[in-house]
Amino acid sequence: MFDTPRKEVELHLHFDGGWRPETIFRFAQKKGISFPCSNGEGFAKHLRVTEPNSLCSFLTKFNDILQPIRGDKEALHQITVDFVEDCVKRGGHCYVEPRFCPFFFAGDNLTVEEATETVLKSMETAAHQHNLQWRAILCMMRQNPEWSEKVVDLALANRKNGVVAVDVAGDDKPCDGKNTDKRIKDAFQRAYEAGLHCIAHAGENGCAASVTEAVHEMHAERIGHGYHILDDNNVYKDMKERGVHFEVSLLPLTLSAKLYALCSF
């Protein structure tokens, strides 16, 4: 199928976490957005997390990543083209499933529909050029449950444009296994009934019961991270018997101070 020896497959790939720092910095300069650095290399160092820290601290870096790109179609297109090229030339990937929340890219000059279209069209064009296979996952956000219904709308409207699944991301620490916002659960139910695949970040910073909730009530086939199932042997056994796929990412696991979990898995 492929004309190069690429063989890497990445299923847990946050699109907005895989952008070139120099491209982000260039658009920041263009818009007069200042950071404590003077070039792309310095911006890369500014973004880099080098010591284990909390998940919330880790996620704050995304604010600086998104600010120069938000609401800018040209920037979003260029970021996407660079992303695909890097997947192939730097990552050696033959297949990826980038996930993103379209609301993070919308702005005064770009609707959420236009942002989604820009990413998907740019992805398809660049992927064809670089012989990369891909499918997209649209993310709801735990801290913004009011977006959930629209995310499913966008996913359903773009099934022919590469979208195959929905996810929910964000800090899951407030979750107790019962209290995920009803708007999120309802959106998952609609996605499931419409035939979309369902994925959920759960048990990453929250309790084991949040994984049970995601699988039993939100139809999750795959769990992003899910390390805290190790805190409850019954949950662990349930997930193992069901054959639930856990997306365990080594680098963020280490930098969010949860390396112990990988060893236990």
Token pair listed for 231: 């805190």
198 beta partners:
166
Task: Identify which has the larger pLDDT, 236 or 259.
Answer: 236
**In angstroms, rounded to a whole number, what is the distance separating the alpha carbons of residues 99 and 196?**
14
Residues assigned a catalytic role: 204
Query: Which has the minimum average pLDDT: 133-142, 214-223, 249-258?
Result: 249-258
Task: Identify which has the larger pLDDT, 34 or 227.
Answer: 227
Cα 46 vs. chain centroid, distance in angstroms?
Answer: 21
Confidence (pTM): 0.88
Query: Phi-psi bin for 256: left (phi > 0), alpha (psi -120 to 50), beta?
Result: alpha
Q: What is the pLDDT of residues 127-173, one digit of tens each?
A: 999 999 999 999 999 999 999 999 999 999 999 999 999 999 998 88
CB-based burial label for 212 (10 Å; 0-12, 13-18, 19+):
buried
Q: What is the pLDDT of residues 40-82, one digit of tens each?
A: 677 777 667 666 566 566 667 778 889 999 999 999 999 999 9
Annotated domain spans of the chain: 1-134, 168-265
What number of other Cβ atoms are within 10 A of residue 244's Cβ? 17
Report yes or no: 172 and 207 within 8 Å, Cβ to Cβ: no
Q: What is 1-134's CATH number?
A: 3.20.20.140
Token pair 């977006």 in the structure block, residue: 147
- Whole-number pLDDT of residue 53: 61
